[in-house]
Amino acid sequence: MEIAGIFLGFVLVFGAILAFAIRRVWKLYRVVAVSIPTGADSQAFRFKLTEAIRSLGYRADASPGPTALFHAPAWQRWAVGLQDITVEQLSTEAVLLTGPAFNISRIAPIFAGAAKAPYHGQQPVWPLAKGFSRLFAALIVVFTASLLTAYLAGVQ
């Protein structure tokens, strides 16, 4: 009975840590929207916004259209399923910036008057789960390879 109590305590502590970690990661990588006023000089605003997004490693999509799309770096999409950033013209005075909270929270403070906007699209649950399972699998492979190397080298 004592062993079952210790095991239950371990499971509860591990579950609490895992739940906290999942909540923390979810807050960083969920998709959010921010409305940013363009100001008087629309061309200077567009240039500043594009450079702010590119400084995070995103690259612009070449397809023409009213919505600008910036693709996340390939290694970030593989590792954590990071989503693309979109810039949509709401009106002549504002644009809607949509993307992962981790990066949008670094871009929005650059612009005065940026405000949270409601996001009604799908959240990237499956890409995030796949990305973290890939990272976990890579860690297991590295750990197993290091144990095998230590065993074969005769480390005691």
Q: Looking at the predicted structure, is the pLDDT value of residue 18 above 80?
A: no
**Average model confidence (pLDDT) across the chain:** 86
Q: Looking at the predicted structure, is the pLDDT value of residue 156 above 70?
A: no
Residue range of the domain that includes 113: 31-153
In a domain, 6, yes or no: no
Which of the two residues, 142 and 126, has the higher pLDDT score? 142
Q: 46: domain CATH number?
A: 3.30.310
- How many domains does the chain contain in total? 1
Coil, helix or strand for 126? Answer: helix
Query: pTM score > 0.75 for this model?
Result: no
Q: For 71-120, what is each residue's pLDDT tens digit?
A: 988 888 887 778 889 998 888 888 999 999 888 989 989 988 888 988 88
DSSP 8-class letter at 84: P
In a domain, 81, yes or no: yes
Residues whose CB is less than 8 angstroms from the CB of residue 83 and which lie 6 or more positions away in sequence, other chains included:
29, 31, 72, 99, 100, 124, 127
In a domain, 16, yes or no: no
| Element of type H or E holding 86 | strand 85-89
Q: For 140-149, what is each residue's pLDDT tens digit?
A: 999 999 999 9
